[in-house]
Amino acid sequence: PLLSAEAVLKAVKLVSSGRPHEAASELRLPLGEQHSVRAFCKVACRELKLSVPTPTALEGGPPLSEAAQRRLSEGVAQLDANLPGRLLVVRAGTAVSEETGKPLCPLSLVDRIFETAEELHKSTAARLATYQLETCADPPFSPWDATFQRLSAGGLLPTGPVEEDMPGMFPRRPLVLRLAWDGGDAVPTCSTALYDDAAWKEQRAAGAELEWALLEAATRDAPPVLLGVPR
């Protein structure tokens, strides 16, 4: 995401208070890049033309790493810059090009995943996936097929077996909570397990009557929760 002046100044304040990890989180720096946070704030303030209350707090420290430099370039991009990451087309809409009269987003692109915005723009009548794109929230809960497609497109679900998990891996393996209720005065029950891609494919029918949502953890170290509730 783009960097806001508020986020950068808050990060500078956190650095001044000796809290580089929190500053790195505020700036959405990659995990383990807190050592670059001083240099990052210094350059970000210059790019965004911000006046730093305590400039001495940003002196010293190692230079920007390659990962931090990529995040900085993304954060200070212009509004017409392409969105980063993979993109899933969920709806085509009805807008058409003023020049050609053709749909801006052809219906044939729905449910397709594009590795980059550039790849998507080869099939659209205009550059749509930029920071000027108006966003709307997805429903908090949706059927598993829609939830899986959205989370997979965002790279939020691990694909390997649990045994291959490594500390600090991303995406974090979510906890899967399935709620069951027989109606009436019946007491709801809950089953809990770690998400496993292979096992889930075999058990998809078990979640067919559920609506799903991914709940983000309160901290970076805690796993998210994939919650399934009865329809």
Average pLDDT over residues 25-41: 87
Tell me the C-alpha distance between 231 and 181, whole Å. Answer: 10
The structure tokens listed for 39 are: 């240099």
Res 143: pLDDT: 84
Res 92: pLDDT: 76
Tell me the C-alpha distance between 133 and 107, whole Å. Answer: 18
Res 53: pLDDT: 67
Query: What percentage of the chain exceeds 90 in pLDDT?
Result: 12
- pLDDT band of 131, cuts 50, 70, 90: confident
The residue that leads in pLDDT, 28 or 53, is 28
- pLDDT band of 120, cuts 50, 70, 90: very high
The structure tokens listed for 201 are: 């494919």
218 has pLDDT over 80: no
What residues contact 203, with CB distance under 8 A and at least 6 apart?
none
Res 177: pLDDT: 92
For residue 39, give the H/E element and its range: helix 37-47
207 has pLDDT over 60: no
For residue 178, give the H/E element and its range: strand 175-180
189 has pLDDT over 90: yes
The structure tokens listed for 28 are: 């959405």
Q: Is this prediction's pTM over 0.75? A: no
DSSP state of 141: S
55 has pLDDT over 70: no
Tell me the C-alpha distance between 196 and 98, whole Å. Answer: 47
Res 122: pLDDT: 92
The residue that leads in pLDDT, 199 or 62, is 62
